[in-house]
A and B are shown apart, each in its own frame.
Chain A
């Protein structure tokens, strides 16, 4: 069965500090992984997906199949990055399975 684990419920960093939000997954098939973000009072939206290999708002995430991880990183956190972040795994049925989320707070 598939599983997505985000070990940190809460993460606080100072503005300008590096940030890493951890995500580990378990899936027998070929994984499609995503990071979604939910800013305060806004809808859930896609931040990035691993197959795009792109950087969005300074965030990057590399799929490490050996460690079954898809950690989200940003070298210099900004106050506007404060939000709820969800790692998600898509299965062959096109269903997204979400981790429990990490609330990131960037301290000014």
Chain B
């Protein structure tokens, strides 16, 4: 009965590869998010997606792209991986577009070699 799930939990890959991280929520929430937590534990929002509206943090490179096949899923695609992409990526969801509590997934630790 996991609320927000992510796969894979760990991802190790070579520089230059393209990879995806999947996120699913079974809470019936309307809004989903992706966050990046760097090696210093600093959490930064990357995207938020509410139905048809995608809000992108302007500092996120365009190699990163979210894809939402339906309301329950928001996958993260990363092209041409770089060493600096190594981090833990968290997916989250919230009921609506207002100031709601966000529920986080367990995180995906990405290591780029």
Contact = CB atoms under 8 A, between A and B. Distances in A.
B67 to A, nearest CB: 19
Contacts of A98: 35, 42-44
A46 interface: yes
Interface string A72-98: 000000000000101000100111111
Nearest to B99: A32
A interface majority secondary structure: strand
B90 A94 contact: no
A49 B101 contact: yes
Contacts, number: 55
A90 B94 CA distance: 12
Nearest to B3: A43
B55 interface: yes
B104 A45 contact: yes
A5 interface: no
Given A43-B105, A44-B90, A86 B99 contact: no
Interface of B: 31, 33, 35, 40-45, 48, 50, 55, 57, 90, 92, 94, 97-107
Interface of A: 32, 34, 36, 42-46, 49, 51, 84, 86, 90, 93-98, 100-101, 103
